[in-house]
Amino acid sequence: MAATFGLATALPVPCVHAESPLQHNATQTLPRVLVLATGGTISGKKDTRSAIGYDAGGVSGQELAEGVPGLDKLANLKVEQIANIGSQDMNDDVWLRLANRIQKAFDQHEADGVVITHGTDTMEETAFFLSNVIHTANPVVLTGSMRPSTAISADGPANLYEAVEVATSPKAKGRGVMMVMNDTIHGARWASKTNTTEVQTFRSVNAAPIGYVDPASIRFIEAALPQHGPTLRAPEHAPLPRVEIIYAHSNMDAQQIDNAIRDGAKGIVLAGVGDGNTSRLAIEGLDRAVTQGLLVVRSTRTGSGFVNRNVEVSDDQHGFAVSYDLNPQKARILLQLLIANQQTSPAEVQQAFAYADSATGSPE
Active site residues: 41
- Give the CA angle between residues 233, 244, 85 to the nearest 5°: 70
Residue 100 CB neighbour total at 10 angstroms:
14
Half-sphere exposure of 140 (CA within 13 A, CB side): 26
| Residue 82, phi then psi, degrees to nearest 5 | -80, -40
Beta-carbon contacts of 280 under 8 Å, excluding residues fewer than 6 positions away, are none
User: The dihedral of CA 332, 337, 340, 346: what is its sign?
Assistant: negative
Q: Return the closest-CA partner of residue 16 out of 124, 75, 89.
A: 89
Query: Alpha-carbon distance 243 to 332, whole Å?
Result: 6
How far apart are alpha carbons 298 and 308 in whole angstroms? 9
Q: What are phi and psi of 28, to 5 degrees?
A: -70, -5
